[in-house]
């Protein structure tokens, strides 16, 4: 690639060049036909921006408050697995890059660096994402470790009773990485001659009986606020509120679970309407531009989460490029706000965007 990258999409090609095919496919791939993987990104292109002119935009403030924590921009590093497959420093490098940009990082339950290593690596606000295992004591142990190490919220991933069919991982016979958080507590080694070892490990550990009643159990083992990740409908958003969660993350798991689910940006407004401002709604999936962030905020998101772009930056050159990826998005958001006539994130309103549905209705 000639010259330095000028937007975050270019880091994907750099990652492809440096990573073994098995690892690149693991990070880049989606489920089955990968329809939702493409749609997560393309759906943003069908939303247009309605800018305002002659607004004094000499000062732009992108900062916001998420669950009581002030952050420099409405950007959160999403919980993604196995960062040491991308770079030897793994989640520690990612955490430091996020801290340098003063944004929140969410650490994955299946991180390759330990909770304690990430917590001691830098001073920043961190959330912890968890699955619920058949062995509930393992989930409880991890949640308590996160709380004891200064993490500020728990994210429950609720869309994974089983692992989605990730065909690239099956073809590559993806090897489950070393998960040092679990050493001494549970074996992460699974031998399978039928495809992805990762899929075999998930089948062995994930609890398919997880249901709404278990939110109460999770709340009973931690004092931290709980966000639920994987909501795609107004009905489930309402149930989440009834269950007492502190926040909702609109997510289709990076299109890695059920294919042909809608793009997250296309269902964001449905969820926001169901929530009625009772808790913050975050959006995960498909963010590649500052204009994407702007559109999500206009449709009611409090903040967005970025996953793959951070991983690609980490693979390209570690901590420094994680920081570069986040700063690129921040700079693009700042420019978008200026050109759209919005001085603060609170100035970004529903009237600033037109969706595909609205254009369709206008033609009728």
Residue 2 lies in a domain: no
Place of tokens 């619920």: 132
The 8 Å CB, 24+ separation contacts for 53-59 are 53/341, 54/341, 55/341, 55/342, 55/343, 56/343, 57/337, 57/338, 57/341, 57/342, 57/343, 59/343
Quick: pLDDT tens for 231-260.
999 999 999 999 999 999 999 999 999 999
Q: If you average pLDDT over residues 195-211, what whole number do you get? A: 84
The predicted pLDDT at position 356 comes to 85
Helical segments of the chain, H only: 10-18, 21-28, 35-45, 90-100, 115-121, 136-148, 167-172, 197-205, 214-220, 234-243, 264-275, 290-298, 308-317, 319-340, 356-363
Tell the burial category of 68 from Cβ atoms under 10 Å away from its Cβ (0-12, 13-18, 19+): exposed
Known catalytic residue: 83?
no
pLDDT at 182: 82
pLDDT band at 193 (very low <50, low <70, confident <90, very high): low
Is the pLDDT at 135 greater than 90? The verdict is yes
Q: What is the pLDDT of residue 11?
A: 97
In a domain, 3, yes or no: no
- The residue written with tokens 């901590």 in the block is 319
In a domain, 267, yes or no: yes
CA distance 275 to 284: 17
348: confidence class by pLDDT, cuts 50, 70, 90: very high
Q: Is the pLDDT of residue 230 over 90?
A: yes
Name the pTM for this structure.
0.95
The pLDDT score that the predictor gives to residue 185 is 76
pLDDT grade, residue 60 (50/70/90)? very high
Domain total for the chain? 1
Residue 235 covered by a domain: yes
Output the known binding site.
Answer: 108, 129, 131, 157, 166, 229, 251, 253, 256, 284-288, 307-308
Please identify which of the residues 83, 87, 253, 352 carries the catalytic annotation: 253
pLDDT at residue 345 is higher than 60 = yes
Annotated binding site for glyoxylate: 131, 166, 253, 256
Is 5 among the domain residues? no
Find the mean pLDDT for residues 121-128. 95
In a domain, 274, yes or no: yes
pLDDT the model gives residue 178: 78
Tokens of 288: 């590649």
Task: Report the pLDDT value the prediction gives residue 1, as an integer from 0 to 100.
Answer: 54
CATH code of the domain in which 40 resides: 3.20.20.70
Considering 84-98, 182-196, 202-216, the range whose residues carry the highest mean pLDDT is 84-98
Q: In terms of residue numbers, what domain contains 97?
A: 10-363
Assign 37 a pLDDT band (cuts: 50, 70, 90).
Answer: very high
354, containing H or E segment:
strand 353-354
Q: What is the rounded average pLDDT of the residues 150-165? A: 96
- pLDDT confidence of residue 67: 97
Burial of residue 243, with CB atoms counted within 10 A of its CB: 0-12 exposed, 13-18 middle, 19 or more buried: middle
Annotated binding site for FMN: 108, 129, 157, 229, 251, 284-288, 307-308
Establish if 1 belongs to a structural domain: no
pLDDT for 115: 96
* CA distances for 43 relative to 219, 248, 257, angstroms: 35, 21, 18
- Is 90 within a domain? yes
* pLDDT the model gives residue 181: 81
């Amino acid at each position: 690639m000639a010259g330095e990258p000028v937007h975050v999409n270019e880091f994907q090609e750099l990652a492809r060049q440096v990573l073994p095919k098995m690892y690149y496919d693991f990070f880049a791939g989606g489920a089955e036909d990968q329809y939702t993987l493409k749609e997560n990104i393309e759906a943003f292109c069908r939303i247009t921006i309605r800018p305002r002119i002659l607004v004094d935009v000499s000062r732009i403030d992108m900062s916001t408050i998420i669950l009581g924590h002030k952050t420099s921009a409405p950007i959160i590093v999403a919980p993604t697995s196995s960062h040491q497959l991308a770079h030897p420093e793994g989640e520690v490098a990612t955490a430091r890059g996020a801290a340098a940009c003063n944004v929140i990082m969410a650490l994955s339950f299946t991180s390759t660096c330990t909770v304690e290593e990430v917590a001691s690596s830098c001073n920043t606000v961190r959330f912890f994402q968890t699955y619920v295992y058949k062995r509930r004591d393992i989930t409880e142990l991890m949640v308590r470790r996160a709380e004891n190490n200064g993490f500020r919220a728990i994210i429950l991933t609720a869309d994974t009773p089983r692992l989605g069919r990730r065909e690239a991982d099956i073809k590559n016979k993806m090897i489950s990485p070393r998960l040092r958080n679990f050493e001494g507590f549970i074996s992460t080694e699974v031998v399978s001659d039928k495809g992805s070892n990762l899929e075999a490990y998930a089948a062995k550990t994930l609890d398919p009986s997880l249901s709404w009643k278990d939110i109460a159990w999770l709340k009973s083992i931690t004092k931290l606020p709980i966000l639920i990740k994987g909501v795609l409908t107004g009905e489930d958003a309402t149930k989440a509120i009834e269950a007492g969660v502190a926040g909702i993350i609109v997510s289709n798991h990076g299109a890695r679970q059920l294919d042909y689910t809608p793009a997250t940006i296309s269902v964001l407004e449905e969820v926001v309407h169901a929530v009625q401002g009772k808790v913050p709604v975050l959006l995960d999936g498909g963010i590649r531009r500052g204009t994407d962030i702007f559109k999500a905020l206009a449709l009611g998101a409090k903040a967005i989460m970025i996953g793959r772009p951070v991983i690609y930056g980490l693979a390209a050159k570690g901590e420094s490029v994680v920081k570069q990826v986040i700063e690129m998005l921040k700079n693009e958001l700042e420019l978008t706000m200026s050109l759209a006539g919005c001085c603060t994130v609170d100035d970004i309103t529903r009237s600033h965007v037109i969706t595909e549905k609205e254009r369709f209705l206008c033609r009728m």
